Amino acid sequence: MIRIETEPWQVMVAHARRTYPNECCGAMLGTIDGDGKNVREAIALDNAFEGAQAARYELRPEDLLKADKAARDRGMDLIGIYHSHPDCDAYFSTTDLQNSCPWYSFVVLSIQKGEFHHANSWLPNVDQTVADKEELTY
Ligand SMILES: [Zn+2]
């Protein structure tokens, strides 16, 4: 299960609303305790996708490396990636699955008409063929 603390959660929702009607993306930093993950900080990253960003996001590998380093510097880990789905449910699309990494949690925020609607967290399998829903609290 994954728990997002209030402050990073507010950062994520504000970021998703600000980029609407485009998708936003960012990194989630925190700690892992057994099966439980605790997100303590969210870092907004650029959507680097060069086409229409309303239904697609792309992270720059160097931005992810920077987020990973920032996490380590603060005694945390990079535990997941978040992105938004403008006017769409918080499902995990085939593209999301293909661009995922099995060792991260993927939180998807559904933004409907510019407002936060609901969110889900997904855990891709090693082959990136299926993603299971992960229990999410925020
Ligand atoms: Zn997506």
Question: Which CATH number do you get for residue 98?
Answer: 3.40.140.10
The encoded tokens of residue 110 equal 């559904």
Instruction: Report how far ligand 1's centroid is from the alpha carbon of 19 (Å).
Output: 14
Give distance in angstroms: CA of 66 to centre of ligand 1.
22
Average pLDDT over residues 98-109: 95
Cα(103) to centroid of ligand 1, in Å? 17
pLDDT at 35: 78
Q: Are strands 2-4 and 105-112 parallel, antiparallel or unpaired?
A: unpaired
The secondary structure of the chain in percent helix, strand, coil, rounded to multiples of 5, reads 25, 40, 35
**H-run or E-run covering 137:** strand 136-137
More confident residue, 4 or 33: 4
pLDDT in tens, 10-49: 999 999 999 999 999 999 999 999 879 999 999 999 999 9
> What phi and psi values does residue 8 have, to the nearest 5 degrees?
-60, -35
Domain limits at 47?
2-137
- Specify the number of domains making up the chain: 1
**Mean pLDDT across the stretch 72-94?**
97
Distance from the alpha carbon of residue 91 to the mean position of ligand 1, in angstroms: 7
DSSP symbol at 51: S
**Ligand 1 centroid vs 73 CA: distance in angstroms?**
29
